[in-house]
Structure formats: C-alpha cells, structure tokens
C-alpha cells in the first residue's frame, strides 16, 4: 500500500524566513519590522516561523506603485 507523501508539489509549500529574506532581498531586521507592522502574513508554530510565498507576494502587491 502506498504511503502519502509528506511533501506534495501541488500544494503551496511554506518556507522559512531566510527564503523570504532572499526572495525580496531584505535584511532580517526589515523582515522583523514587516511582521511587526503586519505587512506580511506568517505562521508561528512553536518558535519557528513559516511564510507562504504566494500570500507574501499578494500582500506586498498592494504596495506596488503604478506608473502613469
């Protein structure tokens, strides 16, 4: 009998804070400020923080400045 996979590529994976810092090229302090100001959604499980890349992209999209 097949066992279910722990990681399924079709599901949206959660990433750790280091991946978010690299993706947006920001410092750990900047990420801390964004989390404190509730600009980025995150999950806290125990002491570990997880982010959905798709949710972070969507949250930061509202700060985009449109050109004329």
State how far the Cα of 31 lies from the Cα of 17, in Å rounded to an integer: 8
For residue 46, what are the domain limits?
Answer: 14-61
Does the residue 26 lie in any domain?
yes
User: Does residue 1 lie within any of the structural domains?
Assistant: no
- Residue 40 falls within a domain, yes or no? yes
Q: Nearest Cα to 59, choosing from 27, 12, 28, 24?
A: 24
Domains: count for the chain: 1
Residue 18 falls inside a structural domain:
yes
**Could you read off the pLDDT of 36-51 as tens digits, one per residue?**
999 999 999 999 999 9
DSSP string covering 2-68: PPPPS--TTS--EE-HHHHHHHHT--HHHHHHHHHTT-S--EEETTEEEEEHHHHHHHHHTTPPPP-
> For the whole model, what pTM was predicted?
0.74
**pLDDT given for residue 12 in this prediction:** 72
pLDDT at position 56, please?
Answer: 93
Cross-strand partners of 15: 51
Output the pLDDT for position 1: 56
């Amino acid at each position: 009998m097949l066992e279910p996979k722990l990681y399924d590529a079709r599901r949206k994976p959660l990433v750790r804070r280091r991946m978010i810092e690299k993706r947006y090229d920001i410092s750990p302090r900047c990420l801390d400020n964004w989390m404190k100001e509730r600009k980025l959604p995150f999950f806290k499980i125990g002491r570990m923080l997880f982010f959905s890349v798709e949710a972070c992209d969507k949250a930061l999209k509202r700060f985009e400045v449109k050109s004329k």
